[in-house]
Amino acid sequence: MNPFLECLTALAPEIIVVSTALIVLLADLAMAGGKPVARRAGLAGAITCLGCALAMAWAGLMPCSAHVAMLAVSPVTQWLKLTLLLLTIFAAALSWGGRFTRHVGEYFALLLLAAAGLMLLVSSDNLLLIFVALELLSVSLYALAAFDKSSAASAEAALKYLLFGGMSAAFTLYGISLIYGITGDLQLGYIAARLRGQPAEPVFYAGLVMTLIGFAFKLAAAPFHLWAPDVYEGAPTPVASFIASGSKVASFFVLARILLTAFPAARGTAAASDYQAGWVPVLAALAAVSMVAGNVAAIVQSNVKRLLAYSAIAHAGYALLALVADARHTLAALLFYTITYAFTVLGAFAVVAVMEQSGRRGNLADFEGLGRRAPVLSFCMLVFMLSLAGIPPLAGFFGKFYLFVAAAAAAPPLSLLWLVVLAVAASAVSLYYYLQVLKQIYAVAPSPTAAWPRPALSAQAAIVLLAGIVIVLGCAPDLLLGKITDLLRSHPF
Amino acid sequence: MLAWTIYISFLGAAALMFLPGGNARLARIIALLAALGGLACAAAGVAQCARHAGPGALTDVVNWPWIAELGVRFHLAADGISLVLVLLTGIAAVAGVLFSWNVEERCREFFALYLALIGGVYGVFLSFDLFLLFVFYELAIIPKYFLIAIWGSTDREYGAMKLALYSFVGSAMVLVGLIAAYVVSGAKSFEWVDLARGPYPAAFQYWAFPVVFVGFAILAGLWPFHTWAPTGHVAAPTAASMLLAGVVMKLGAYGALRVAMTLFPIGLHAWQDTMAALAVVGIVYGALVALVQQDFKFVIGYSSVSHMGFVLLGLMTLTQIGFSGAVLQMFSHGIIAGLLFAVVGRMVYDRTHTRDLAQLQPMNLHQVLPFAATTFIIAGAASAGFPGFSGFVAELQVLVGAWKSFPWLAVLAAAGVLVGIAYTWRVLLKAFFAEGAVDRRDLPRLEPISAPERAGALLLLGTTVIIGLWPGLLLGLIAPALDSPLLQPLWKGGAR
């Protein structure tokens, strides 16, 4: 086939999403004259969801396995795009009832562009294109974070996100340039071939570590997490939910892909008994620090969005365990974990978004007595919190369990037990702060004067659906895990 | 049949959740029906298994594949030990509902959480896939937390959080041990039978055993990790403290027995003396602290720590008679502690609104609440280990076993029994028989003991008397289970 045509078919889902973004802009422009914001938001949201669904249909129905130019599309990445698009649809459903902006067309268009960035990110195996995709995603998210113009916190969040994000992009780019200088290539497979059998140079390690630092910013792994709490708290809640979910899944996947494809020679080990330099010990340190710092800092938070931010830092630490372990075998655990985490955290943010639409903030005190006024919403929040804490039979429990088993089983067996013990201990601590939220909801009496949320139908449906997903995947993890392992077995990257 | 104990409980909980709010009566009836259904299934299942099972045999109930990737199966089965505990759970569940008949506040949610807890407990006792066991074990934490945090009394948020965190830390330790065992055994399966075969290197067992054992035993009130128990029991509403003492503490002991001891026999032999000493400290310490409490419920709370010490001591004797005594003691203490908490929490505290022994003294409760006083006399006698009640048979067996393994510790434990008589006597005198008020008109007017309370008390009293007079009923179930080939490594060198 013509290589251009092949590129176009491989990129069809991305093209659909970008076109949808343009259509949303045009449609909103056409309607802008005096129509109420709610109607415009309805239209833009509907087009967004429709476009995403169309892209999903294409990605799901048209089997595609192409390795052309800078693209590496396989059933695994197609399937991952499905998941990312689903997360985007959920984030769009939350934005529907949000009253934080009048510029709905631009908002949904940026959301779609961010989604396109995510999809491009997972379908490339070239460091340059990965960087471009990362920037497409990041720039869209900076703008989205600033979208609530009436709130100073939103502006602050966006500025912080931009400064930290820009810094991390600089690190990544510089790291990539060093790696390019050593190996003379940007294609992941070629880099691995160049590095094989060659004694590693210090400059190469500098480049590797800089790239890792860039990704650590993106993943909000401690000690590069400082932006996360402010951004999660200040950004409009649907945007924060998108940053916490979709962006996490894609970043972890691409990080795994880079490290496993390009740098298997520079692995090193983090085993307690025999230490070797490489990216594994770096990630092990990041994981350990993130788990401890995230969980400890979360204990004292009084705002649920900040609490979720610190919990996200801790969860990034757990997920890094999969990369520290023998990562080819633990990739399934990593994907299962990040995807179920994405659904859960999206649900938790959705509940906060609904609370905000009723004129409250996301403070812990605002949740007082929610259990009696909005039983369905509260039950869903219960599911999300307990899943994050890792209580069975919810998805978060099995995700963690499987991850820990994979980490403990990494060859030589039990060599990473210290990290597993740390992770288990950290997650025991985490129950405390998740229970604080639930205590407010169920055990504290509601104040009689407070306004109570009447969630929009779209948000309510999204929340219930997400809670359902979390429960079902917890009770029958094989539904998702079986799919992931099958895909990875037949198409390793 | 046995699997339905779990299903009925969770179905009952789900039904209550979808019930329209405000109809307390219907909620109670549904809860009672679910608890009775569970008990009926348990009894039927026990009868069925007892008829068919040979010595040491497991009776499979359900065995479905669940998570292929890890080799996890949904495997419910039963041996004699689990049968005894399932029966206990059934009886305690029914009694608990009867004693919470007066719960008015958010009744529907109360019973939904209550049944979810019961379902989890049944699940732990019947799971023979250790992943499944762990799932049910953790599942029970959250209902416990809410039952105390919402419906509790003194310091309820503190007590609830303490209990939840202790349980969760314990289960985190179990999780580490379980994952390590799975990896080291290379069995690609979480089946108890596969994991118990091992083999595990001795060096591994030396650390894995204490981690898993203590992880479970925290919930069984092992000294010095028992501190959640008194505060948790005191903060909990009556039905929850009945369940906490009655069955939840048994979860810990059962897990220690089923998982820690059978998986790591070499580690067990290495740590046997230490753990036995801790158990005896628990017996004596719990009893001595109970002796000086001013709060009626704290007395019972600490007595639970003391009595659970007998369970752990019995297990640590590593003799068949000590083991059988430990299992019987789990059953017996489950019944008696439930009864004691029912008297303290429901019959006395709900009416007098105080648990302070000094304030109870002038009330002459034996005149005002004769039924409560009578019940407490009998339950106290059973708790103190008088012959004719189930506690006597159990503690005697434990002491005989301990005498074979650790003569000195047996003497100390026997001293603990004596202290047990002392604190029971003291609290009986202070709470019920102190002639504080001279004039009859000064006595408080309290609502009479209701029919559900009487029914619950009779159920529990009847059980302890029947087992006391005819222990063979349960010992006949326990003895064959101890012949299981997987338990044989425990006995070797156990009796010294």
What is the per-residue pLDDT across A167-211, written as a single tens digit (0 to 9) for each? Answer: 989 999 999 999 998 888 888 888 888 888 777 788 888 888 999
Q: Which residues, including other chains, have CB under 8 Å from residue B477's CB and lie 6 or more apart?
A: B46, B50, B80, B83, B84
pLDDT value of position B436:
65
Torsions phi, psi for A145 (to 5 deg): -65, -30
Q: Give the distance from residue B162's alpha carbon to the nearest chain A alpha carbon, in angstroms.
A: 10
Q: Of B210, B207, B186, which Cα lies nearest the Cα of B197? A: B186
Q: Percent of chain A at pLDDT above 90?
A: 35
pTM: 0.91
Strand A269-270 relative to strand B72-78: parallel, antiparallel, unpaired?
unpaired
In B141-200, the residues whose Cβ lies within 8 Å of chain A are: 141-142, 145-146, 149-150, 157, 161, 164-165, 168-169, 172, 175-176, 179-180, 182-184
Q: Are A178 and A204 in contact (CB under 8 A)?
A: yes
Nearest to B161 among A386, A414, A435 (CB): A435
Q: Is the dihedral of CA A259, A261, A267, A272 positive or negative?
A: positive
The dihedral region occupied by A125, where left means phi > 0, alpha psi between -120 and 50, and beta the remainder, is alpha
Token output for B247? 């069955």
* Structure letter (DSSP) for residue A196: T
* 3-state class percentages of chain B: helix first, strand second, coil last, to nearest 5: 75, 5, 20
Least reliable range by pLDDT among A130-134, A453-457, B280-284, B326-330? A453-457
Window B:47-76, CB contacts with A under 8 Å: 66-70
Cα distance from B183 to chain A (closest Cα, Å)? 5
Find which of A103-107, A271-275, B492-496 is predicted with most confidence, using mean pLDDT: A103-107
Residue in B68, B131, B182 closest to A482 by CB:
B68
Contact between residue A234 and residue A157 where contact means Cβ atoms under 8 Å apart: yes
Residue B107 belongs to some domain of the structure: yes
How distant is the Cα of B312 from the closest Cα of chain A, in angstroms?
25
- Suggest the residue from A370, A398, A431 to mutate for an interface test with chain B (most B CBs closer than 10 A): A431
What was the pLDDT predicted at A172?
Answer: 92
Does the structure show a pLDDT above 70 at A308?
yes
For residue A413, the distance in angstroms to the closest alpha carbon of chain B comes to 7
CB A321, CB A403: distance < 8 Å:
yes
Q: In sequence order, what are the beta bridge partners of A269?
A: A276
Compute the average pLDDT of residues A110-127.
92
Residues of A with CB under 8 A from a CB of B: 332, 386, 391-393, 397-398, 401-402, 404-405, 408-409, 413-414, 417, 420-421, 424-425, 427-428, 431-432, 435, 438-439, 442-443, 477-478, 481-482, 485
Q: Does B134 touch chain A (CB under 8 A)?
A: yes
Phi, psi of A374 (to 5 degrees): -135, 75
Contact B175 A392 (CB under 8 A): no
- Closest-CA residue of B relative to A385 is B142
d(CA A187, CA A171): 19
Cβ contact A194:A174 at 8 Å: no
ipTM: 0.89
| Alpha carbon distance B67, A399 (integer Å) | 12
> Are B242 and B338 within 8 A, CB to CB?
yes
Q: Cβ–Cβ of A432/B161 closer than 8 Å? A: yes
Residues 448-477 of B with CB under 8 A from A: none
Contacts A417 to B, Cβ<8 Å:
176, 180
b/e code B222-248 from CB counts within 10 Å (16+ = b): bbebbebbbbbbbbbbbbbbbbbbbbb
Q: What is the pLDDT of residue A348?
A: 93
Which of B29-44 are b and which e, b meaning 16 or more Cβ less than 10 Å from the residue's Cβ?
A: ebbbebbebbbbbbbe
Looking at chain B, which residue has its C-alpha nearest residue A435? B161
Q: What is the pLDDT of residue A191?
A: 87
Neighboring chain A residues of B69 at a CB cutoff of 8 Å: 332, 402, 477-478, 481-482, 485
- Specify if B496 maps to a domain: no
- Measured between CA atoms, how close is B157 to chain A, in angstroms? 9
Domain membership of residue B464 as a residue range: 3-491
Residue B170 maps to a domain: yes
Are the C-beta atoms of residues A221 and A287 closer than 8 Å to each other? yes
Strand duo B72-78 + B59-67: pairing: antiparallel
Q: Is residue B281 in some structural domain?
A: yes
Question: Total structural domains in chain B?
Answer: 1
The encoded tokens of residue A125 equal 């195996």
Taking contacts as CB-CB distances below 8 angstroms, the residues of chain B near A428 are 165, 168-169, 172
Please, which residues have CB within 8 angstroms of residue A490's CB and are 6 or more apart in sequence? A75
- The residue behind tokens 């109420």 is A36
Burial class (CB in 10 A: 0-12, 13-18, 19+), B158: middle
Angle between helix B80-99 and B451-469 (nearest 10): 160
A486: nearest CA in chain B?
B69
CA distance B18 to chain A (A): 11
Of the listed ranges A328-332, A446-450, B15-19, the one predicted with least confidence: A446-450
Measured between beta carbons, the chain A residues lying within 8 angstroms of B141 are 391
* Rounded distance between C-alpha atoms, residue B433 and residue B435, angstroms: 6
**Residues forming beta bridges with residue B74, ordered by sequence position:** B64
- Give the number of A-B residue pairs with CB atoms closer than 8 Å: 80
To which H or E segment does residue B405 belong? helix B390-405
- The dihedral through the CA atoms of B480, B484, B488, B489 has a sign that is negative
* pLDDT score at B440: 65
A116/A113 Cα distance (integer angstroms): 5
User: Contact, A416 vs A407, CB < 8 A?
Assistant: yes
| B420 closest CA partner among B296, B257, B300 | B300
Return averaged pLDDT per consecutive 10 residues of chain B, 496 residues in all: 88 85 81 90 85 69 85 87 91 90 82 91 92 91 86 82 88 91 86 84 89 92 86 83 87 90 88 90 91 87 90 89 90 91 85 81 78 88 86 88 87 88 87 70 75 88 89 83 80 51
Whether residue B14 is contained in a domain is answered as yes
Count helices and strands (H / E) in chain B. Answer: 25, 2
Q: Is B19 left (phi over 0), alpha (psi -120 to 50) or beta?
A: beta
Rounded Cα distance, A224 and B375, in Å: 64
Minimal Cβ distance to A420: which of B134, B150, B179: B179
Inspect the interface and report whether the beta carbons of B176 and A421 lie closer than 8 Å.
yes
